[in-house]
Structures are given as C-alpha cells and as structure tokens.
Amino acid sequence: MLIQFREEFAVPIDVLYGYFRTPLDWCRLYGMFGPVADLGDGWYSVTLKNFPFPLVAKISIVDPNRLVHWKFRGFWRGEGEVRFTQSKGEVIVEGYEDISVRWLNFFSPLVEKLYLERGFKKIWKFGWRRIRKLENSSQESSVKV
C-alpha cells in the first residue's frame, strides 16, 4: 500500500525533523506505538498498537532538516521517506510510505486494502494532528507575549 502526503506547518523545521530522525522518535509523533527495541546495526523493532507484527525499520538516508528515508524488513517490506522544505514561513512535509506484507505476495494488496490501510492512514493522521496542536499552542503563546 502506498500512502502519500503533503502537509504544511508553521513550526520550525528542526522541530518537525526531530520527529523522524530515528524510529525511536516516531513514538513521540504517533503515540500509537508501544515499546521500541534496538535490534542493532541501526534496526529497530517498533510495536504498533492493534497490529500483530512490529515494524522493523532502519533509517537509511538522513540529510538533517531536509530528508529522512527508511526501509522495512521482517514481516513488512517497503520503504518510506519525508522531505522538509521551507516556503513562505511554513515548512512543507511531503513524502510517502510504501509498505506491504512480505509473505502474502499477490494477496498482499487485498489484505492491505481490507485490513491494514485504514490503520496506517490513521497513524499518519494522528501524527499530523499532534503537530497541528503544537503549531496552535506555539501561535497562542506568541500572541500572549
């Protein structure tokens, strides 16, 4: 399943980048994760609530405050990426997550559509809402000053 996104935020770019630096940071953004285990060599096992198998992910490319790219292994296969650009005082976060179930082969798209896609999209929406709250609270505090 391919999930693509493009979001704009009035939050400093380094704050947004901080949510994606490593799979350990993803928990701060999404909140739908359980414990994260360091598997060594940059790989992390990230427990997803309501999913039977953890994400096993590794950050493969990092360009601080510009790009984070990761890949999956284990039960899941695929990759994802976020890119950060500054435009007219806002930070644009765009990218994708292309993830599928490794062992289902040609059945994977059907299982993803019926059982997984909604959950993954919900995780991303939750993260964007969390950033919007951060964005709103920083705007409110700047008005009070």
Mean pLDDT over residues 2-7, rounded?
94
The structural domains of the chain, with segments of one domain joined by +, span 2-144
Q: What is the pTM of this model?
A: 0.84
Q: What is the CATH number of domain 2-144?
A: 3.30.530.20
Which of 22-31, 53-62, 68-77 is predicted with the least confidence, judged by mean pLDDT? 22-31
3-state secondary structure the chain: CEEEEEEEECCCHHHHHHCCCCHHHHHHHHCCEEEEEEEECCEEEEEECCCCCCEEEEEEEEECCCEEEEEEECCEEEEEEEEEEEECCEEEEEEEEEEEEHHHHHHHHHHHHHHHHHHHHHHHHHHHHHHHHHHHHHHHHHHHC
